[in-house]
Structure 1
């Protein structure tokens, strides 16, 4: 690829900024100063900017603990997005969230520029489990567990695969429950609609795992960590 694309992809700067660095004579490939932004470079080449090595990494993976009030989108004119939570040096070209969490849903969200992995994790036939923890207005009981396990058909005709519901706590006096639910789909507002179909309401919702990934207990809301592909596809 061209050296200006290589450096722009590695967030050294925009194409225009990279051109200025090249003009200053501080970009080198294998020890030789670059004269033109059109120079071709391979991933195996040794690239430096002002003496500092810039190693090429094609794909990047970030595990974010999404806070409330943030959109699972790459950009928005008026509201913060999950991309805006990344440090500037980590906003690599093509980074997108894998699937979506609603604006008021928190927890595990993977961000990557690896389109194939994105497909692998989201394709319905791949059966990637997702586990959520929630607080519910309403008392979930054994009948709720059986209803979810049997597979539901929502009021609009949407058919859902069986879901595994675990009741963590019930408070009959306050008409609330705490639950965990495992699903293999990611339909629009799916968990909220499922509980709505049995006369309950989701008050708080957090995703705690997706496939092989589990949300680290010490990762605070709005924080993220970088992963390797092996961490995701064990």
Structure 2
């Protein structure tokens, strides 16, 4: 699993505004582009009352703050996504950690396998639960779910290990969770780090069709020396509940 500092507990969006003066008409055209967040790069001027109105003057160039992305939480024995989907945690020894596998509205848990292995960081197992961003529409077909799982897996590996990771032993299979069709991918990611005995980690991806064009996602990242956690992850995935 990707390292974290020892002792640690835990698209771009834009709005292009064009102001065009045509005789007496003022038209604003905006194009919003992004993966999760949206912010404005320009806003339409607003006429303010004359005299001492007590209202502060606001420059038209002021940019509104970014809307923070939704986040899930670990509550008791459940990982609760921002949309209220739930997944059982892996076990009581697992603790809350930062989500870094590309989930939308997700949360994550962690189990240390090699504590302070290089005098700077821990190495361990990681599991997250959330969903693909709603801007990516998921087709409710075997091919559509496979494509969604592939995308979720690529985002997770990039976030956890980097884009140049070596991937082998890839498997695919159809799954059904809480009455919803889904797709599972497993793969090995090569690991090479000084003072670390691990040579690979197993990446696990489960995508579940929510029935509304979005998908619930669980990512598992299991150290090669702890394969028994793979079946535990599958058991916990089978316990996912989709909020209807």
Q: TM-score, normalization: structure 2? A: 0.28
The structure in which a higher percent of residues are strand is 2
The structure in which a higher percent of residues are helix is 1
Q: TM-score, normalization: structure 1? A: 0.29
